[in-house]
């Protein structure tokens, strides 16, 4: 199946699937916010981050998932990679309020739950062990996460990242349970797609010349961009935590937050 990679393809997919206009409006609002939060952000492969997010929503659309999940999928990286103007990642009350104003509390709650879902080898195994006891909300967030994994591996995407060997090995280590997780939450079609893309990544080779030097999501800002002085200062402190620690009393005195 071909999955959407642009907003127009996703809109047309939703129209073809019979989603009502109110659902498509909520998706458009999520996309509009995404264009502001993910400007100049790219996956490690060089693929625009927003294309990946749209593709994740498209995978859910193919499953006829509720529109709230599609909208949350478009914004699922908001508190990880979203640019809120201060040059830092993370979830704060102010950021949550901004997202709520843009897309409503139900969608924002899903985005926040996605952000709080720990996703590493040990937590994936623990999640697999208790999957049958998950609440409806937890299953929804897991569904978005699994759609994210499917899209990330789609078109051999992870093999074009700088850390392709590690990404391929990760399938055998922790991601192997994703197929069973999808089946256990009642999504056999997604399970089949996960199995397909994982197998393709396991067996395919891509030319080294096409591999991107970046391992994960990065920002490629326009040459004309001039960061705010406070943002530049925070980034310097983030790269030098010992200096930040030494300066902390003075920063607090002047009302700065590190």
pLDDT at position 64 over 70: yes
User: Same domain, yes or no, for 52 and 162?
Assistant: yes
> Whole-angstrom Cα distance, residue 238 to residue 235?
5
- Domain assignment present for 54: yes
Contact criterion met (CB below 8 Å) for 101 and 87: no
> By mean pLDDT, which of 36-40, 194-198, 234-238, 254-258 is the weakest?
254-258
Number of structural domains found in the chain: 2
* Residue 42 bridge partners (DSSP): 48, 218
- Domain assignment present for 63: yes
pLDDT at position 253 over 50: no
- Domain assignment present for 220: no
Q: Which residues contact 114 (CB under 8 A, 6 or more apart)?
A: 72, 76, 141, 144, 145
User: Same domain, yes or no, for 59 and 117?
Assistant: yes
Residues of the chain above pLDDT 90, percent: 81
Q: Which residues contact 246 (CB under 8 A, 6 or more apart)?
A: none
Report the pLDDT value the prediction gives residue 255, as an integer from 0 to 100: 45
For residues 193-197, give the mean pLDDT. 98
Q: What is the pLDDT of residues 88-107, one digit of tens each?
A: 789 999 999 999 999 999 99
User: Same domain, yes or no, for 194 and 111?
Assistant: yes
Six-digit token string for 234:
């925070």
Q: What is the pLDDT of residues 128-175, one digit of tens each?
A: 999 999 999 999 999 999 999 999 999 999 999 999 999 999 999 899
Residue 28 domain boundaries: 7-210
Handedness of CA 152, 153, 155, 160 (dihedral sign): positive
Handedness of CA 192, 195, 196, 198 (dihedral sign): positive
């Amino acid at each position: 199946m071909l999955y959407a990679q642009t907003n127009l393809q996703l809109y047309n997919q939703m129209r073809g699937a019979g989603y009502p206009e109110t659902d498509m409006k909520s998706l458009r609002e999520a996309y509009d916010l995404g264009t502001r939060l993910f400007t100049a952000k790219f996956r490690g492969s060089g693929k625009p981050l927003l294309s990946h997010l749209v593709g994740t929503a498209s995978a859910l659309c193919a499953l006829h998932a509720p529109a709230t999940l599609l909208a949350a999928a478009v914004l699922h990286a908001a508190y990880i990679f979203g640019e809120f103007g201060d040059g830092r990642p993370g979830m704060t009350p102010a950021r949550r309020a901004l997202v709520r104003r843009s897309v409503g509390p139900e969608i924002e709650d899903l985005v926040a739950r996605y952000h709080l879902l720990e996703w590493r080898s040990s937590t994936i195994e623990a999640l697999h062990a208790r999957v049958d006891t998950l609440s409806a909300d937890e299953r929804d967030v897991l569904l978005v996460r699994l759609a994210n994994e499917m899209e990330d591996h789609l078109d051999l995407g992870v093999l074009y990242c700088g850390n392709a060997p590690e990404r391929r090995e990760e399938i055998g280590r922790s991601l192997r349970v994703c197929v069973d997780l999808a089946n256990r939450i009642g999504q056999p079609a997604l399970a089949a797609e996960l199995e397909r893309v994982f197998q393709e990544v396991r067996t395919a080779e891509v030319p080294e010349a096409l591999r991107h030097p970046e391992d994960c999501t990065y920002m490629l800002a326009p040459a004309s961009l001039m960061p705010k002085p406070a943002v530049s200062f925070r980034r310097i402190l983030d790269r030098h935590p010992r200096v930040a620690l030494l300066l902390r009393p003075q920063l607090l005195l002047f009302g700065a937050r590190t």
